[in-house]
Amino acid sequence: MSLQIELSTSGAVQVVTLAGTLESSNVSKLKQQLEELVKETPSGIVLSLEDLDFLDSSGIGIILFGSKLSLSHRIPFLLSGPNEVVRQTIALTQIDRFLQVTPSLEVALERLAS
């Protein structure tokens, strides 16, 4: 199954909605997208994971890459709404200790607004 990436904005926040699977064969697609996005200096980036079915360790790697890249541009970077499988994979690597993972996109946007 492939990865679909949809871009939208909420105010000055850039929302990147992922659907399908995020894995070694398609991470470069998201990497390229994130590199482009930070150049536009949004007030925040939310990676919306509600429709993401699965991610492997390469997927985690690219999320870490996006987080580091955003923070180097002083842009807050949040994850929102992972399903149980995705949430467990994130928890296993313990990167959720350093990344902000919110239960839904609304919560992520509220957090950025506050």
The residues that touch another protein, with contacts defined as CB under 8 A, are 1, 21, 23-24, 27, 31, 53-54, 56-58, 60-62, 64-65, 68, 85, 89, 92-95, 97-98
H or E element at residue 101: strand 100-102
Residue closer to another protein by CB (options 53, 107) is 53
Residue closer to another protein by CB (options 28, 43) is 28
Shortest separation between residue 55's beta carbon and another protein, angstroms: 9
H or E element at residue 93: helix 84-93
Residue closer to another protein by CB (options 10, 76) is 76
Shortest separation between residue 11's beta carbon and another protein, angstroms: 29
Shortest separation between residue 19's beta carbon and another protein, angstroms: 11
Burial class, 107, CB count within 10 angstroms (exposed 0-12 / middle 13-18 / buried 19+): middle
| CA triple 17-2-104, angle to 5 deg | 25
Shortest separation between residue 114's beta carbon and another protein, angstroms: 24
| Close Cβ partners of 2 (under 8 Å, ≥ 6 residues apart) | 20, 21, 26
